[in-house]
Amino acid sequence: MNNTNKNESADTTRVQNLALSNELSEEKVQDFQAAFSLMDSQSKGYVCPNDIVRVAQAADMTFAENEAELLVGSADEDHSGGLDMREFISIMTTHVNPQDLEEELRQTFRVFDKDGNGTINANELKRFVRLWDSELTEDEANDMINQADPDNTGSINYKDFVEFLLHK
């Protein structure tokens, strides 16, 4: 068997293994592989947050690097700092239950709503955002908080908090 046939055979086997392990059709796995290859433009075998941001920007989507880092971190089972093909397919096929998301958002809001009055102090949220992303400039943090507090009241209610997190 020549090298081309060996590579095609290995690719077919890999597609079949991925399809069987995730109960996906071979065609669906090939679609995911094509998307993965688009992001993995240097053929490294993994996708890092910068790759995701680059592809999102090319598609005229706004995707901050810290969002890409969260996305990668949520699926990076081997803690390599990037997503391999299996991890990428896993994240692409994960279904989010709306009730679970709603409860998670409520719990997150409660963490910041220290006095339980239904609002979050914008300055406290800004301090947290700056601690979470130490490379964020003061201006970038202010822009984020202005998005979360569109009325510039200094307090962020639950509805604005959810819209901010979900970029509605």
- Residue 163 main-chain phi, psi, to 5 deg: -60, -40
Let me know the angle formed at the C-alpha of 66 by 62 and 72, rounded to the nearest 5 degrees: 100
Where a domain ends, among 92, 120, 149?
Answer: 92
132 shares a domain with 78: no
Tens of pLDDT along the chain (168 residues) come to 444 444 443 444 344 345 434 467 888 888 888 888 888 888 899 999 888 888 877 766 776 667 788 788 888 888 888 999 988 888 788 776 777 777 878 888 888 888 889 998 888 888 777 776 667 788 888 888 888 888 889 999 888 888 777 665
88 shares a domain with 102: no
* 3-class state of residue 83 by DSSP: strand
- The token duo for 47 is 């996708």
Helices 49-58, 26-39: crossing angle, 10 deg rounding: 90
**pTM above the 0.75 mark?**
no
| pLDDT for res 45 | 93
34 shares a domain with 16: yes
Where a domain ends, among 92, 114, 143?
Answer: 92
